[in-house]
Each structure stands twice: as structure tokens, then as C-alpha cells.
Amino acid sequence: MHALQPKHTKISKKEEESLLKELNISKTQLPKIKKEDAALPEGTEVGDIIKIERKDEENNISIYYRVVV
């Protein structure tokens, strides 16, 4: 992983269910990320949800979610 690349983590099925329930959406409504993306952790499969943690200038962390297609 490159120093400037945001942290990408595959979330568990339990976290996935909790996230979708909390946001009141289905998996298909999440933004997409391609399986070929170099930032994805090894072992990622189509349909997995990826948690992306980005830091800004003040070191505040913003969290984004993507579904692998």
C-alpha cells in the first residue's frame, strides 16, 4: 500500500448486515469499485463491501463504503 493511498478493508458479513440496516439501503445501492482495483485487499470477491478510510489535512477520518463488482 502506498503512503498516500487510503486504507481499504473488507468488512465482515455481520458488519455488512448492520451497515445496510443502519443506512436502510440494499447492497446494490452502494457505490461500486472494480475487482481489478489495485487498492483492494487480497482475497476480495465480487459482492464484498469495502470500507475506505480517508484522512484530510487535519487528520480527521472520513469513511466511505464501496461494493466490489
pTM of the model: 0.88
Look up cell 445496510; give the residue.
Answer: 20
DSSP string, the chain: --TTSPEEEEPPHHHHHHHHHHHT--GGGSPEE-TT-TTSPTT--TT-EEEEEEE-TT--EEEEEEEE-
Q: Residue 5: what pLDDT? A: 82
Domains of the chain listed by start with CATH number: 7-68 (3.90.940.20)
Q: Residue 3: what pLDDT? A: 67
Strand pairing category for 61-68 and 32-33: parallel
- For residues 40-64, average pLDDT: 93
Query: How far is the C-alpha of 55 from the C-alpha of 37, rounded, in Å?
Result: 20
- For residues 25-48, average pLDDT: 94
59 — pLDDT class (breaks 50, 70, 90): confident
